[in-house]
Structure 1
């Protein structure tokens, strides 16, 4: 369906509409259910303003791809994966030495790589040493991933090296975030009026929220360290950007649900899919009008259930989903996840970035091509290296007709 132009509110709009700034063009496809959820959020008690982005799509407690400022706290607008975000790293590996098949087999076992005592890492980050240690350094399911990337194109001064390899890690707080959210729901119910700032319930949630935010960032760092160890490389953090969080400001509480929280001058990744380009963008002063938020990725176009009728109907189609046009490989032994996370499930990340740029929120600085995307692996069923070659050959034949 079509949409009103972003940021510009019609003169005769309702009070609910006046609270919404849409940062996407009228040509951007947004599901009707997401628009309805957007209006529902704008109608919540104490809501001041809502910013919606071109990756907007329906979620469980409200739309994903928005930021909302209110005079009270709504934990449900953040959800259970508190601190989920994207971290972008540079590796000291030259692209010219990369053998994709070999890298894929090295990365297949990344979640089993030991990184020393996790308790020490937690304590160094200001958390208890026994704080959900079993999940630390793991990716999780759904749309989370660790991806080896190379520069496809970049502007001068972008801060990326065309001759090096990069990692993009998308993950969050795993069971910790779910536990925090479960606790606040159990103690306060559905919270239709939110939580008043300064109350015992709000303070307790924010303390747990801050811990989950720090845990999620450390989790992404340790995933990247495991990947770098597998690839026998060192790494450097370029950007760490959460997109499920709450910020207490001098002008209300800002909730970010699937919207990357960025300040002017910051670099941020905008993820594509395992078969499309991702983007690196520079946040501009314009993000002050969007609650310091932008899209974090392409956003879903089709829900998980409906994808089972759209892709991967047979073994050949599923094998085709495991490769891409750049010779890249996906590591995912979960057949349902392969289908649900197919590139066709997502919007066009390039169009999302173009919308953000058209409203003066960002400047695109680089595109990144996916080479190896790790999602889920069963080590006891690891295929031999020859299987990677067979899948890539199949994809080349398919792409050549």
Structure 2
């Protein structure tokens, strides 16, 4: 990581009072064969202007917008968006004219501004490269670059890039050098991804670059930092010379999406930590827990998985986190399917079903007593005419004809000729 003296002028940057109201329209200011320049310039010009660059395969090419348009309109902030019509890494012919058009717009804003303005670059992936490469030509004061590629020229990097298929002859030796960048340049990347880390580290040769690791963010780093409030906090950190690493950490700690992704990583790779992560204060305060419980079947299946692995204490903890109190209250041994749901019986139709997120929507809860199964109703227990075959920590429920009960992913349950090991049931006390 490089260090430098931040010479930006501190700004009293505040969210405007009319949040979310479109004060003006996005207009196309310039277009040639390779590029489009669009702008959103509110009537009351702020002392900050953002110049944004789109990424690979940008939808903005067709939809009339630019990268960061929702931020511009939410914050009522001047944005100038450069859209590449092809995946050219902003190196194709015509880029100089597009840069010139942006500078004309900036001059116009400066003439109308009541005070000195500062211009901040903002780009993602291919656009992250572009905003760095052309920062000097644009006269930027600082920039935020999300997951940029230093170069997709393998002869220059000595490695193959996921974007190597986009390489064109005019991209030879494309990597930005120190002579290209003389401003504070914050590069956000996921250090857990080898390619992302290698690209970011290639930029470290530039003295004014600051690498900002955003672990578990993936290539689309913006998803971990999105939102107008977060963007405002990042800008404040840049303009005031504050520690952007600390600011990023605070943003991520408060981010529902970040907490949500971390918890799902636990579910995917360290399931024994999943109950602890799901019940954490951060999970509760950000709303991540509520969202996961409501929308992810895998969370419920984890109960059965933990049981199968012999991690009963973790399974019980998770069940108590997920399940309604009224379902867990009865002191009976319940039956848990591989889906993480409990088994229910409808005495009128004489059919089985599963709970929905541990809620009984029809029928009565099925319990096990001394190896036999019963339905539990308000009037008492009713023994069901099915046998059980126990083996270690799982068992099979069979009908008189020998067919076995099997739970399905769609919430249904029925009898089949045979069941795989994972289809067997587990007891839950």
Q: TM-score, with normalisation over the residues of structure 2?
A: 0.23
State the structure with more CA Rg: 2
Which structure has the highest strand share of the two? 1
Higher relative contact order (CA 8 A, sep 6+): 1
